[in-house]
Chains A and B, each alone.
Chain A
Amino acid sequence: LAKTTQPISMDSYEGQEVNITCSHNNIATNDYITWYQQFPSQGPRFIIQGYKTKVTNEVASLFIPADRKSSTLSLPRVSLSDTAVYYCLVGGALSGGYNKLIFGAGTRLAVHP
């Protein structure tokens, strides 16, 4: 699995757009980029996943440049309830129960009123 680097913490205010960038210089050709969100004392929650270009769902957008050495998770108009730890994970698509999640140090996002 490729090593990832992301900010330790970020602060924002309600209503703002938040962009969290993750660096993964050693990403392999068949690696996917996946983001999870975790609230205190709760299990991580899958947010979004992409391979290249841009992916958007009802929660967030994921921007991936052509070289795929980084990616940016974009949260539009955050609210207090978006305060959580956000993890960026990179890994190849395996099968048969080998897609374990390797969590590195995530980004602690604090949203203020």
Chain B
Amino acid sequence: AAGVIQSPRHLIKEKRETATLKCYPIPRHDTVYWYQQGPGQDPQFLISFYEKMQSDKGSIPDRFSAQQFSDYHSELNMSSLELGDSALYFCASSLEGEVKAGPYEQYFGPGTRLTVT
């Protein structure tokens, strides 16, 4: 079965540079969530989109922005990168438009490991 695709898998950037992470949800899934996981930490929610509209926002820095496109893929744009942005970034998708889909059942991608030097 198709899974969530994230690209790139690894990314190395220098401080103050910009990075763009991409996420391709499972076909027919209508919701995308972005999470950040720092070294030795638990995943933290950043932002979500439902039917291409931003739905919820967590502790996402103002330097970060995201959007979901007409084909449902999503991009996380990160500017003025800082050393502390080094982390694994996960995208997850879910199908919330159907009753039979359980709440909180999300499917995660393999993640993008961002290293800021």
* B-binding residues in A (CB < 8 A): 32, 34, 38, 41-46, 49, 87, 89, 91-106
Contacts and interface: CB of A to CB of B under 8 A. Distances in A.
A46 B2 CA distance: 16
Contacts of A32: 102-104
Contacts of B45: 100-102
Interface stretch (B14-22, B49-57, B78-86): B49-57
Prevailing SS type, chain A contact patch? loop
Nearest to A98: B56
Prevailing SS type, chain B contact patch? strand
B61 to A, nearest CB: 17
Contacts of B103: 32, 34, 49, 91-94, 99
Given A42-B108, A101-B35, A101-B43, 7 more contacts: A38-B43, A41-B113, A43-B4, A49-B105, A91-B103, A97-B55, A101-B104
Contacts of B44: 103
B111 A100 contact: no
A91 B31 CA distance: 17
Contacts, number: 85
B33 interface: yes
A93 B101 CA distance: 11
Interface in B1-49: 4, 31, 33, 35, 42-45, 48-49
B108 A106 contact: no
Nearest to A43: B108
25 contacts: A38-B43, A42-B110, A42-B111, A43-B92, A43-B111, A44-B90, A46-B106, A49-B102, A49-B103, A49-B104, A91-B103, A91-B104, A93-B104, A96-B55, A97-B31, A97-B48, A97-B49, A97-B55, A100-B58, A101-B33, A101-B35, A101-B104, A103-B44, A104-B42, A106-B42
